[in-house]
Structure formats: structure tokens, C-alpha cells
Amino acid sequence: MKLSICTDLFEDWPQEEIFQFIADKGYQGIEIAPVVYADNVNDISKKSRRKIKKQAAEYGLEVVGLHWVLVGPEGVHLTHPEKSIRNITRDYLLNLLEFCGDIGGKVIVFGSPRQRDLLDGVSREDGYRYAADIFSQCMGYAAERGVTICIEPLGQNETNFINSITEAIQLIEMVDHKNFQAMVDIKAALSENRPIKEIIREAAKYLYHIHLNDANGIAPGFGKTDFAPIIEELNNINYNRYLSLEIFELQASVKKTAVQSYDYLLGL
């Protein structure tokens, strides 16, 4: 397993300083939210894309991929009842795949809770059908760009669509493509109120990415969650990809948080 961190934690730090700090600490990868660079991914210039890829390589970092992908642009929604909106969403997802490939990323984490909510009048069955259709239309280009889209189950306090790994697997099996897989966000998984090891075992067949955070969104090692059983179970299923820190609440400075979380996880 390898450790990465979401760069939006560092807010207004210059990009090169972020990459240097992350690399110096020992992290092997970075995960990027496109909205940090522009509200719309199409407004991120080719020059900026080359710079992200080049600077990451200079510091020996792998660009793991993207998260918060539908935050920013107007008029996108995964399960909207209007086909024209869903077509716009499909086209935007294709643009995200292009950006991810341009910067050397291999994973798109599809969370974006509000942009996937089931709106009034949209049944759960329709939501699955709409979502599967959009993702299916993107799979050929995802394979061409070498990018895997990972559906992210999220808690019921964040969205009303796909709140468990069981529900995520239902969508994955509908899309039925090797470039559409699952990821587990620990904060969200803890909201399922069942053993985390059980969730990891259920996800194992499709598990392609992990977000690490505590139940209340703080960094691993700062809260009450014991991550030792989580790491143990990931080893049990032979998970050998990235563990990416996605931190929402700080209990210390950014630097201290990134350092102490890294040391805590490395110790496990």
C-alpha cells in the first residue's frame, strides 16, 4: 500500500511548495480537486496541466487522480430527470477524464453528493438507470485514457443516493466495465453502522481506492477511530493501491496534521 494526500488541504499554498512538502515527508502520491484550479475543468489550461504533471514528477510524486469532480460547474447532475442535463453531465465527465489523463492521473473518485442526489419525482430505480447510462457512455474513453472511475458511497447526511458499498456494487455491476470500480471512504463507511472489516471484505472484488479520515472528518491519528484493524483487513484482502488522506477538519496546523497522520499510518 502507498500513501497519498488530497492537496486541497493546503488551501492557498503555492503548488510547488505543496508538492515539495508532501514529497519531503514521504508521501508517494497526490490527489487533486479540479475546483482548486478552476470552477470548470475546461478552464484549466494546457500549460497548467503540463505544470502539474511536470512538478509532480520532479518531486517524485505520482498523481493518483481526482476527487470533488462535479463541484464548480453549473448545470451538471448525475441523476437528473432531463436527458439534456444528463448529456451535459456525461460530456463534462469526459472532459474530466481528459484532464485526469493529461496530468498523469489514474483514478477519478466520484463523490459529488449534491450533484448526484435523487431529485423529487426520481425513483431509486431511475437514479441507477440514469447513472449507469452516463458512466457506461464514458467507459470507452476512460479505458483509452487509462483512468478508472470509482463510485464513492457516502453517508445519508451527505446524499440520498448510494449510501453503502452494497449500493455501490449494484451500480458497478450494472455498468460492468473494468474501468468502473469501487472506493471506500472511511468516514462514510463508519456511518453504515456495521463492522468496517465487513465493509472492506464486501468491497474487495471491486476495491480500487481508499480515502482515509476519521468519523468526523479529522485526520487519522487525531480522532477516536483505530485504523489498525482497517489496515489489517486491507492487507488480508491483498489491497496494494493508494490510501489517500482526505481531511475535512483540522485539529492542528496543516503541516502538523499531514506529518502526524503520515507517521501514525506508517507505524501501522
Average pLDDT, integer, range 194-207:
97
Give yes or no for residue 193 having a pLDDT over 90. no
Element (H, E) at 161: none
Rounded to two decimals, the pTM is 0.97
Report how far residue 68's alpha carbon sits from residue 146's, in angstroms, rounded to the nearest whole number. 19
- State which residues form the domain around 141: 2-267
Q: What angle do CA 72, 77, 82 make, to 5 degrees?
A: 140
Give yes or no for residue 3 having a pLDDT over 90. yes
- Comparing C-alpha atoms, which of 172, 79, 60, 91 is closest to residue 122? 79
Burial class of residue 41 in the structure, from the number of CB atoms within 10 Å of its CB (0-12 exposed, 13-18 middle, 19+ buried) = buried
| Confidence at residue 125, expressed as pLDDT on a 0 to 100 scale | 98
DSSP secondary structure code for residue 32 in this structure: E
| Confidence at residue 14, expressed as pLDDT on a 0 to 100 scale | 97
Report how far residue 22's alpha carbon sits from residue 27's, in angstroms, rounded to the nearest whole number. 6
Report how far residue 215's alpha carbon sits from residue 175's, in angstroms, rounded to the nearest whole number. 30
Domains held by the chain: number = 1
Average pLDDT, integer, range 216-241:
96
Q: State pLDDT tens for residues 164-173.
A: 999 999 999 9
Give yes or no for residue 24 having a pLDDT over 90. yes
The domain spanning residue 42 has which CATH number? 3.20.20.150
